Amino acid sequence: MANNPTRMVSLDAFRGLTMAGMVIVNNPGDWGHAYWPLQHAEWNGCTPTDLIFPFFLFIVGVSLTLSRGTMGNPWKIVKRAGVIFGLGFLLTFWPRFDLAVVRIPGVLPRIAVCYLATAFVFRATAPQGEPSDASRFVHALYLGALAVGLTLAYWLVMTWVPAPGGVAGDLTPSGNLGAWVDRSLLGGHLWSQSKTWDPEGILSTVPAIASTLVGAVAGLWLASSAAMKDKAIRMGAAGVMAMALGYVWSFAFPLNKSLWTSSYVWFTGGAAALLLACCAGIIDVYGWKRWSRPFVILGLNAITLFVLSGYLAKQMGLIRWAGTDGKVISLSRYVYTTWFVPLADPYNASLLYACANLVVLFGVLYVMDRRGLYLKA
C-alpha cells in the first residue's frame, strides 16, 4: 500500500511519538528499576506514562474526522472495529488459549469500542452536503457537548451511586461502582493482576469515548480552512484550558487512569491537543520535518507496532531454560542481565533495554516503510 501524500505529517509524528512512548514504558529491563515518569501512578495522579493511552484515543478521534471512510459504508467501520478488537483479544488469548480465564477488556478492545461509538456518533451528527467551516463548527459543538455530558454523567454516577453493599463515592480499586460492574458482568475475565477490577473495564469505557470525542472536535478544527498557524495556536490554547479544567475538577474527582475519571479525560485531552498543536506548528507551519521522520515511520504502522511489541515481549518471556545456577531464566531476563546490566546502574540499564526494544521494532517498521508496506485495520 503506497503512502498517502495528503496525510497530515504532524499527526503521524504525534502518533509515532505516542507509540515510541508506549514501547519504552511497556518494556523495561526490570520493573523494579524504572524511572517514575515511565511508570503509571499507583492509583490517583497522572504521570507522563498515564498520558499514552488517552493520547491513542485522541488520535483515533482526530483521524476518523480526516478519513473519507468514516462517512462511507458503515460496515467498514464495524469491520475495522472488529479487527482491532480481535487483534487485542488474540494478544491476550495467546499462548494459553484458555477461554475460561482469558481477559476480555484491554487496550485494543477499548480502542475498538471507542472508535466504533465515536465514528457512528460523528456520522449521525454530521451536516448534510459539502461541509463548510460553519457546519464544522456546529458539528464540533454537538460532539463537544456530548463529551461534556458523558463526563458529567460519569462523575455523578461514580460519586453518587453506591455499589451494592458499598457506599456512594467509594473510589477505591475494588470498592468503586465500576469494579462491581466488571465483577458482575465479566467475572473471571478481568485483569489477572487484580482479579477484582479492570483498568479497561465496562463503565470507564464511557468517559473513554469522551476522550475520543475530544479528538474528533480537534480533527474538525484541523479540517477547517483556517491557516495552519492559526489552527495550531488556537488548538494549543484550547488544550491549555482543557488541562486547567481537568486539574480543577481533580479536586472533586481525582485524576485516575484506571477509573478514567472525568478530570482525567479533560486533563489528558488538553495535553494531547497541546502536543499535537506543537507538532503541527513545528512540522506544518515552520517546515522542520527531518527530526520527525523516525516517528512518522512508527506512526504509519501503529497497529503493526502495537501487535509486534506485545508479541515480542510475551515470546521473550516464554522462552526459558535452566541457567548455570539451576534457576530457570527467560530469554528477556538473560538478554537484560547479560548485555545491559554490565553497562550502567540498574535504572539506566533498565531504560537502555527498553530503548533497545524500540530500536529493534523500528528496524522492522523501517524495512516495511522502505517497501511501501503499511498495514491498516
185 CB neighbour count, 10 Å cutoff: 12
Measure the CA–CA gap between 356 and 334, rounded to whole angstroms: 14
Smallest CA-to-CA distance from 62 within 107, 1, 7, 3 is with 7
The pLDDT score that the predictor gives to residue 4 is 44
Give, in degrees to the nearest 5, the angle at Cα 84 between 79 and 86.
Answer: 90
Residue 94, C-beta contacts closer than 8 angstroms, at least 6 positions apart: 311, 314
Using the CB atoms, write b or e for 142-179: b if 16+ within 10 Å: bbbebbbebbeebbeebbeeebeebeeebbeeebbbbb
| Range list of β-strands (E), 294-363 | 320-322, 328-330
C-alpha torsion 227→232→238→239, nearest 10: 160
pTM: 0.94
The pLDDT score that the predictor gives to residue 96 is 80
Q: Are 215 and 269 in contact (CB under 8 A)?
A: yes
306 CB neighbour count, 10 Å cutoff: 22
Helix or strand or coil: residue 329?
strand
Smallest CA-to-CA distance from 33 within 338, 294, 336 is with 336
Both ends of the chain: CA-CA distance in Å?
13
Helix or strand or coil: residue 26?
helix
Phi, psi for residue 67 in degrees, rounded to 5: -95, 130
The pLDDT score that the predictor gives to residue 5 is 40
The pLDDT score that the predictor gives to residue 3 is 40
Hey, what's the cell of 251?
479536586
Domain ranges of the chain: 9-370
Residues 117-126: tens digit of each pLDDT: 999 999 999 9
Measure the CA–CA gap between 67 and 215, rounded to whole angstroms: 13
Count of alpha carbons within 13 angstroms of residue 207, beta-carbon side: 33
The pLDDT score that the predictor gives to residue 111 is 97
Measure the CA–CA gap between 367 and 377, rounded to whole angstroms: 20
Across the chain, what does the average pLDDT equal? 93
Count of alpha carbons within 13 angstroms of residue 67, beta-carbon side: 21
How many residues in total does the chain contain? 377
Report CA torsion sign: 40, 358, 301, 105. Answer: negative
Sole residue written with cell 488517552: 54
Helix or strand or coil: residue 73?
coil
DSSP 200-224: T-STTHHHHHHHHHHHHHHHHHHTS
Residue 244, H or E segment: helix 228-249
Helix or strand or coil: residue 109?
helix
Q: Are 362 and 312 in contact (CB under 8 A)?
A: no
Residue type, 215: G
Measure the CA–CA gap between 281 and 228, rounded to whole angstroms: 8
- For the chain, residues with pLDDT lower than 50 are 1-5
Residues 176-207: tens digit of each pLDDT: 999 999 999 998 888 888 888 899 999 999 99
Residue type, 307: V
Residue 345, C-beta contacts closer than 8 angstroms, at least 6 positions apart: none
